Structure 1
């Protein structure tokens, strides 16, 4: 285990400024107060949203099924990022420097990186899971609890393997240029540190990005193929449009959140001596931390199953109830399928069921067939 001086080597080099003793003198205090206020909003919303996701999953038995395990895992990781990293960031920005000391810097750097990568890989597993359920590349294999448990175990172990090395001497966690947050040492010019950064970016950004694009790309081609067949039969393309919109939002959110941080990391790793304004250098990390706030909105609240359970938990009227009154038989079929298989599978089965019987039989091998039950939308 290296000493704290090695772990917390200042990116500014051997200068008089010490991020643990005081703020940068060339940055006015209102800049730090603004960052503290923004982090307070992001952290508060993230903790509340992700806590609600975990709570509603515990309360409603119908949500505790394999297709939702990874969503809850994503919420747990985002919740922990905000509880540890968010609260520390609010405290240090309110003071303008990392007054909590070197141990807190290492804690924040490791916790934010570790839980952030857990959330990032959870998004990839979620994309692959949806691809497997809808496109059936593994034949009749159905997703079970043990499969989801193995996937979650992989996410946590894999993320730990690639985030613990900086605490053991392969690279380090250090203060950022602005001095109020800690992160992997992108600024080091050492070859050993460069090898870690390259490996880290490859395994924890490039690989999950490839999984997301590959899985959602194949999923969209599958649904478009079915939708084109329906178009010739005069059927609606609304389900395909809903999936397309959801997938586009998911990919754009991923890119907006993580691309600036990855690009910044590559830039400063390739040019450690580059002269960047500390406030500008803090923006990519801030964007990455906002993921914990909008992930629940995109991956949970856009899910009809979770959304209806939320309405029931808070005793709110379900605005989608009118639709079920218009066509109660069709709505009951869709509700039961959503209960047992998730929103993506429900949309896919809706697509196949809107075709004639012959077309449905030719398509049934491409989509998981879910047994129907008479359960309520969200039984406790």
Structure 2
């Protein structure tokens, strides 16, 4: 009775509104990114394809994973049936893994672009990027399938039904250690190390520019761009770590973890919130994205020739 009152009180109502807002942001922003990159041919570049993959994974989280978790916050009983109960953790794990791998691919792409700019066009092509994304998504699906087959913690045998239709997932400690290594430590190592190298390369390039160009305005502009690069890289790494570290560290502190525990609920929502923030970090601050949003909102993308528009030129106009 107390639990029911707690879930129907003002605090829960505010929580429900906040989480619903996070869910809507994840769907809206990621959908804008997907429409922009898919529609405008100018945006069909290797980097943008990686951002598209990230947006697709985060859109799955916003459309499927978040609403189901919001529903479970209101009532722990499960009304979607046994099949969906088994499929839900699979879809959730695949989409989150694909999102994480896409961020790692973006870090690799940016590393090659900044540290080896002359070789970028030959090493990173659209075909190779598509192949990498296919392998990344396939690996995510294969990893979850292996998890289900060998550990059974996503199968009905490990699902507890304390009330009619209740769906509780139990994750064993032994497999959680393996999951931490392959699903967190490896991608985290790649992302943090590569972005650190990118920042060092950006600092070296800024110093080289200042050594060649001695004019005061140029020096100031270089310092400004260096500061912006530091803030952007720092924000990407910090937000990524803040959203992902708590869940995996908490998982290692208990023998087993269930989807109804408070630890699971709070820290998984941190990961879900990351899916709402990713479009802001990887796309929304780019000029091409702001220009494409204007065409989408004003329905100009319905015009037959809109896919061939030069978004960079449109953005450079005085009223853009």
* Larger CA Rg, structure 1 vs 2: 1
The change in CA–CA distance for 1:92 and 1:184 in structure 2 (over 3 A counts) is closer
User: Following the alignment from structure 1 to structure 2, what is the Cα–Cα distance between the partners of residues 166 and 198?
Assistant: 12
> 1 CA distance for matches of 2:192 and 2:113?
16
TM (norm. structure 2) is 0.79
Q: Give how far 1:131 is off.
A: 0.4
Q: CA distance change for structure 1 residues 97 and 38 in 2, over 3 Å: closer, same or farther?
A: farther
- Report Cα offsets for 1:270-313 as digits up to 9, x if no partner: x3399xx9334421011111111111111111222222322344
Answer whether contact 2:104 2:191 (CA < 8 A) is retained: yes
For 2:53 and 2:127, locate their aligned partners in 1 and report how far apart those are by CA, in whole Å.
Answer: 15
State the match for 2:190 in structure 1: 211
For residues 244-272 of structure 1, the C-alpha deviation after alignment (integer angstroms, 9 at most, x for no partner) is: 1111110011011101111122222xx33
Kindly indicate whether residue 48 of structure 2 is the aligned counterpart of residue 61 of structure 1.
Answer: no
Q: Distance in 2 between matches of 1:307 and 1:115?
A: 26
2:141 equivalent among 114, 135, 160: 160
CA distance in 1, matches of 2:113, 2:168: 37
> How far did residue 314 of structure 1 move?
3.1
Say if 2:52 is the partner of 1:72: yes
Relative distance call for 1:117 and 1:155 in structure 2 (3 A) is same
In structure 2, distance between residues paired with 1:56 and 1:181: 40
- Higher helix share goes to which structure? 2
Q: CA RMSD in A?
A: 3.4
- How does 1:1-380 map onto structure 2 within 5 Å? 28-30=6-8, 35-136=15-116, 139=119, 141-173=122-154, 185-186=170-171, 188=172, 194=174, 196-232=175-211, 233=214, 234=216, 235=219, 236=221, 237-268=223-254, 271-272=255-256, 278-315=261-298
Give a deviation string over 1:194-214, Cα, whole Å, max 9, x none. 1x3222211111111111112
Once residues 107 and 28 of structure 2 are traced to their aligned partners in structure 1, the CA distance between those partners, rounded to angstroms, is: 25
Q: Shift of residue 113 of structure 1?
A: 1.0
The 10-residue stretch of structure 1 (259-268 or 120-129) with the greater mean CA deviation from structure 2:
259-268
User: How many residues are paired up?
Assistant: 292
Residue 32 of structure 1: CA displacement? Answer: 5.8
Compute the displacement of 1:67 (Å). Answer: 1.8
Task: State the secondary structure of the residue aligned to 2:238.
Answer: helix
TM-score (norm 1): 0.68
Unaligned runs of 5+ in 2: 300-309
Taking the aligned partners of 1:221 and 1:273, their CA distance within structure 2 comes to 40
Aligned CA distance change for structure 1 residues 292 and 314 (closer, same or farther; 3 Å): same
